[in-house]
């Protein structure tokens, strides 16, 4: 088991299919990495020599992967939120961002959108969840009404 930049790469896996285990590397970038290091496609993690592993780790540390990439994505979405744009509001509400219909079929957006903001909030908010909805949440105007 090769431990590289926070990810465990199993020894018997082909390098070509082990590299996409990194967040930010897919099939295409994996092949590009192999090509630049002259690693043949049927090379397994266990077959990599020490200098090759060092070359691989230095090449990967130059690429934007894992936590760096996650920070960038979160920062992009937080930017929309902080300037109060439509895109930001849709991310916060967990609804489709790019103008899709919501009468039917918005399941993926409802499931996945907004997770970048939730984790952001979790990081900066206090340990106990507040029962009062935060002022900028979508239901603030409903819950904070003094009349019903």
Give me 100's structure tokens.
């899709």
Cβ atoms 53, 2 nearer than 8 A? yes
Rg, C-alpha atoms of the chain: 21
User: Which residues are at the interface with another protein (CB under 8 A)?
Assistant: 31-32, 34-36, 38-43, 47
Give me 19's structure tokens.
């590299």
Nearer to another protein among residue 41 and residue 122 (C-beta) = 41
Beta carbon of residue 52, minimum distance to another protein (angstroms, whole number): 10
- Helix %, strand %, coil % of the chain (to 5): 55, 5, 40
Beta carbon of residue 61, minimum distance to another protein (angstroms, whole number): 19
Nearer to another protein among residue 38 and residue 104 (C-beta) = 38
Give me 111's structure tokens.
């499931």
Nearer to another protein among residue 41 and residue 121 (C-beta) = 41
Beta carbon of residue 63, minimum distance to another protein (angstroms, whole number): 15
Nearer to another protein among residue 62 and residue 123 (C-beta) = 62
């Amino acid at each position: 088991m090769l431990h590289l930049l926070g990810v465990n790469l199993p020894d018997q896996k082909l390098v070509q299919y082990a590299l996409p285990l990194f967040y930010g590397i897919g099939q295409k970038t994996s092949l590009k990495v192999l090509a630049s290091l002259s690693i043949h496609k049927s090379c397994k993690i266990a077959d990599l020599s020490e200098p090759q592993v060092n070359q691989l780790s230095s090449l990967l540390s130059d690429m934007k992967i894992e936590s760096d990439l996650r920070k960038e994505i979160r920062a992009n979405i937080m930017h929309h939120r902080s300037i109060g744009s439509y895109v930001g509001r849709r991310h916060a509400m967990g609804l489709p961002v790019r103008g899709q219909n919501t009468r039917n079929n918005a399941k993926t957006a409802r499931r996945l959108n907004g997770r970048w903001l939730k984790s952001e909030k979790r990081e900066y908010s206090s340990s106990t969840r507040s029962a009062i909805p935060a002022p900028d949440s979508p239901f603030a105007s409903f819950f904070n009404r003094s009349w019903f």
